[in-house]
Structure 1
Amino acid sequence: MSLASHLDELQRKHSDIERQIDTAMQHPSMDDLQIADLKRRKLAIKDEIEKLRTQPTSH
């Protein structure tokens, strides 16, 4: 998988989790632990995206 396609996939996952969080926040019955888990996953993906973007490319 190329770096660009990997970054695209991570961006897609990040957006999907963000939508899940938004939906969960609109439902007061949603478990706070589930929301916290989604936020942790979103942050981990964001960190991975930043790491890949700042990684020096080798030619």
Structure 2
Amino acid sequence: MDDTQIAKRLDIVRTEHRDLDSAIAALVESGSTDQLQLARLKKRKLRLRDEISMLEDQLVPDIIA
């Protein structure tokens, strides 16, 4: 995967992460008692955060100080 593809994927994942954040907030505000759905959304958000971190690491070269 080249830098352009990584950057595009990073944009997609960041957007999905923000969307999940909004969905989680809406569920919490609505007083939803569906704890299983809430837990699944939070788990997905954490996986996306990990993927964002991995993609960012691929874009930024390692600099040895």
- With the shorter chain as reference, the TM-score category is 0.7 to 0.9
> How many Å separate the matches in 2 of 1:23 and 1:16?
11
1:29 equivalent in alignment to 2:32: yes
> Runs of at least 4 residues of structure 1 off by over 4 A?
none
Structure 1: which amino acid aligns with 2:54? Answer: K
Identity %: 37
The count of residues paired between Structure 1 and Structure 2 equals 57
Aligned to 1:41: 44
- RMSD over equivalenced CA pairs, Å: 1.7
SS in 2 for 1:28: coil
1:11 equivalent in alignment to 2:14: yes
TM-score scaled by length of structure 2: 0.78
- When Rg is computed on C-alpha atoms for both structures, the one with the higher figure is 2
In structure 1, stretches of 5+ residues that fail to align are none
Structure ranking higher on relative contact order (CA contacts 8 Å, 6+ apart): 2
> How many Å separate the matches in 2 of 1:46 and 1:30?
25
